Amino acid sequence: MTPAFERPAITPETLRRLAFDQSIRWTSQNDDLWQLIDNDLWKLTRNPSLILSTVPEQTLEALLRRADCHRLVAGMVQAQQARLQQPTWFARQNFGDKLARVAYFSMEYMLSEALPIYSGGLGNVAGDQLKAASDLGVPVTAVGMLWQHGYFRQSIGPDGRQQALYPVNDTRQMPIEPLLDASGTPLRLAIQLPGLQIWLRGWQATVGLNRLLLLDTNDPANPPIARLITSELYGGDNEMRLRQELVLGIGGWRLLEAAGLRADVLHLNDGHAAFAVLERARSHMARERVTFEVALNATRAGNLFTTHTPVEAGFDRFPPELVSKYLERYAEYELGIPLQSMLAMGRKHAQDAAEPFNMAYLATRGAGAVNAVSQLHGRTSRYIFRELYPRWPIESVPVGHVTNGIHLPAWVSPNAEAHWYELHGDDIPWRGTDQASVDELLARVDDRWLWQIRQHARSELLGFVRSHLARSLAVHGASPTEIEVAGSRLHPERLTLGFARRFATYKRPNLLLQDPERLARILCHPDHPVQLLVAGKAHPADRAGQALLTEWQQFADRPDVAGQVVFLEDYDMRIARHMVQGVDVWLNTPRRPWEASGTSGMKVLANGGLNLSQLDGWWAEAYVADLGWAVGDGLEHEPEHDAVDAEQLYRLLEEQVVPCFYKRDEQDIPTAWVKRMRRSMSELVEQFSADRTVREYTERYYLPLSTAYRQRCADGSALATTLAQQVTWLQGHWHELDFVDVQWLRDGDQYRIKARLHVGNIEPAQIRVELFRQKPDGEGADIHSLRLTRHDGAFAIFQGQLPAGSPQGDYTARVIPSTELGIAIPLELGLISWQR
């Protein structure tokens, strides 16, 4: 027997540290430990810190003396240390010199069931990227809100109607700890609301190498209304939302600074936290003793705004009176600018006093770069932001895109993970960046192997559905017999479709219900039956969404399909996890282009699930024939077109999906189906992983933004001061610019062009003269710049030549500020003049 003293010192405290770290959840191998301590509680809550909080100290000590438990904990500690010692992607690239920290702000985070401070997609993006950042070693400190009630919980009454419930999150049972200051005292800081000061408390969660800091206003020193600010995510009225966003943006930036965390880059995950832009500038002003203009110029170079909305109505907007009430003093005393200037930052038209204050505009006007979350969403966003850049062609609207991805270890099933582990050995495949490629792994397994994983996953899912259903029924007072037979019509060999999302009209959760009889026929086919799992919440204020939900309830209650269609109440991370791991096909039918990206369909990929989706969001760029199925024609349509999409959806199911699933070889393997699984995994798993997303953010945005920010800040904000002056000067003198004439001369197969301009007081080096031609397919433009050949007083001549391929009349001459100035054009300065 090994003497006790040779073992690493493992105490209940070791266990607690592990329970606090989200990263131990990234492999289900670690789940054994919590199962060993309390299997039932683990199954119900998946909350290690809750489990530990229920076990007396002596019991824990006794457990740790047990060899099996000790071995598990020692293994986890070792694995964690090994991971910490391994140089990360970020470290190997030596990026650390260029980027010390990214501060990531989001209204919600979906990290685990144990921390219910999320609603859905936005939180999923934030959570998965934070996890991937840790895997890659990208130093991110996230900032969010500790919602006392989180998002509402859903209960479906016997009438099929949704009830919203708000159980309280108990901080003692979540994997968070108070955030301490340098002296070890819990951090408390104040922000100003009209006529009163309110207190914020800080918490932290550990996410591998990174941390998530959470703000909480539930301090006894605050008046009740202020204590409720961090009560409900997406709850309350407009004024409450404004208070929440002030706490997140201004309070969040102050919390970072109070904790001594200086960031080079501020990443806004949607516009909710846009006030952080102002607070970051204010803090820079105070530290560097510069004006707000200079401070904003310096700090915005390090700000990235990610927009998530595909329609203008999705932006947060506040009445100007409300913003004035809350921010007048802040603008005038803290930022030193007139309230009107601050309001203008949130408006299309600075002078329009009636125009509401738009958080996305504030975020854009305070950013060094803006991005959308899929290729198609990039295009949609350039359209909805176009009015901020009047007279600029749509493709120049400065919104790029980084397509979302998901954190694979969070969504891959334990069984699939174990299989891949067996095959690949030391690490879970598709994690970090040195992993064996998906193709290499797929080449090593036969169809039977893959199909078995699928079969197993489906059967696990049905087990979960039965127990979930039984619990729901019991809660709603069903009889023991009803509970017993619940789920008995689900069959582990049947094609299983999954459909789960927010019930909002644009998501068209009822496209499948356009022709209920036809759907029933598909489900109840005598030889090829299909079962369907549905889940989703409708926002408590969204009546239309709730009506759609009730429609599904009624359909699921039809005697002919009963038991074959199951509505799983209270859609959350836990239900999502089981569904994406087990279903054969994931359905998604939003109205294009309203799904900015969508991520749930990505979660099925590594589990061997296939997608049948509208060509919208990520699927519009992921889809190719033979790896899934596509609904829609890749164009936008009015709601009247729904019937066409529904028809296509039914036909795909009837003619392709169902037959393909049931067509078996002599070993009962659907070879054509497995072939699709292989293609889908091979083409999409890595491409739509958060790993790829975070690397893209780092290389394309974080690093260049950090460099620009540091340059502008150097030597007492010297560059920022110059740039801010240039901007003001150009704005003041731009009207002096005018084209005198543009001469075209044909010379063989070339045009020679000579543009004469009145430049007034503007230096020719400050501008760029270009010929612009819109490409005929509407995709992009052809731009040639002309070079200065003469400058004489108020006049300048610019010349150039270009191939005489297209007619001269296709080109228009224009002048814009020079990109050599180091100012982002047109994001920071949208001046442009066209030849008349």
Ligand X SMILES: *Cc1c(COP(=O)(O)O)cnc(C)c1O
- Cα separation, 571 vs 577, whole angstroms: 10
* 282/72 Cα distance (integer angstroms): 49
Looking at the Cβ atoms of 80 and 687, the one nearer to ligand X is 687
How far apart, in whole angstroms, are the C-alpha atoms of residue 371 and residue 306?
A: 5
User: What phi and psi values does residue 41 have, to the nearest 5 degrees?
Assistant: -65, -35
Shortest CB 379 distance to ligand X, Å: 19
Q: Kindly state the smallest distance separating residue 121's Cβ from ligand X, in Å.
A: 3
Q: Give the residue with the Cβ less far from ligand X, 34 or 151.
A: 151
Residue 738, CA distances (Å) to 728, 762, 770, 825, 833 in order:
19, 11, 13, 19, 8
Residue 15 or 504: the one with the smaller Cβ distance to ligand X is 504
Round to whole Å and give the CA distance between 249 and 238: 16
Contacts of residue 209, Cβ cutoff 8 Å, sequence gap at least 6: 23, 84, 88, 134, 137, 139
Looking at the Cβ atoms of 108 and 770, the one nearer to ligand X is: 108
For residue 569, give every residue at least 6 positions away whose Cβ sits within 8 Å of its Cβ, in sequence order, or none: 154, 155, 156, 472, 535
C-alpha to C-alpha distances, 238 to 225, 229, 235, 502, nearest whole angstrom: 14, 12, 9, 21
In angstroms, give the least distance from the CB of 429 to ligand X.
Answer: 21
- For residue 365, the surrounding DSSP H or E stretch is helix 359-365
The answer to whether the beta carbons of residues 19 and 45 sit under 8 Å apart is no
Task: Count other C-beta atoms under 10 Å from residue 789's C-beta.
Answer: 13
In angstroms, what is the minimal distance from the CB of 262 to ligand X? 33
Which residues, in sequence order, are bridge partners of residue 193?
196
Position of minimal CB gap to ligand X: 576
Whether the Cβ atoms of residue 106 and residue 142 lie closer than 8 Å to each other: yes
CB of 151 to ligand X, least distance (A): 10
- The phi and psi torsions of 208 (rounded to 5 degrees) equal 65, -120
Task: Name, in order, each residue with C-beta under 8 angstroms of 321's C-beta and a sequence gap of 6 or more.
Answer: none
Strand partners, 755: 742, 798
Q: Give the nearer residue to ligand X in terms of CB position, either 270 or 828.
A: 270
H and E: helices and strands count for the chain: 31, 27
Contact positions vs ligand X (CB under 6 A): 120-121, 124, 501, 571-573, 576, 598-600, 603
The least distance separating ligand X from the CB of residue 497, rounded to whole angstroms, comes to 15
Q: How far is the CB of 57 from ligand X (least distance, A)?
A: 35
* DSSP category for residue 666: T
Q: For residues 419 and 507, which CB has a smaller minimum distance to ligand X in the complex?
A: 507
Pick between residue 120 and residue 628 the one whose CB is nearest to ligand X.
120
If the CB atoms of residues 125 and 274 are measured against ligand X, the closer one turns out to be 125
CB of 507 to ligand X, least distance (A): 7
Give min distance, CB of 118 to ligand X, in A. 8
What minimum distance in Å lies between the beta carbon of 150 and ligand X? 12
Token look-up 């199925």 returns 629
In the complex, minimum distance from the CB of residue 219 to ligand X, in angstroms, rounded to a whole number: 30
Question: Would you say 407 or 814 has its CB closer to ligand X?
Answer: 407
569 or 828: whose CB is closer to ligand X?
Answer: 569
Rounded to 10 degrees, the C-alpha dihedral 53/57/62/66 comes to 40
Given the complex with ligand X, which of 324 and 599 has the nearer CB atom? Answer: 599
| Residue 501: CB minimum distance to ligand X, A | 4
In contact, 698 and 690? CB cutoff 8 Å: no
Residue nearer to ligand X on the CB measure, 34 or 571: 571
Q: Cβ(579)–Cβ(457) under 8 Å?
A: no
Spatial distance between the Cα atoms of 172 and 764, rounded to a whole number of angstroms = 64
- Rounded-to-integer distance, Cα 116 and Cα 169, Å: 8
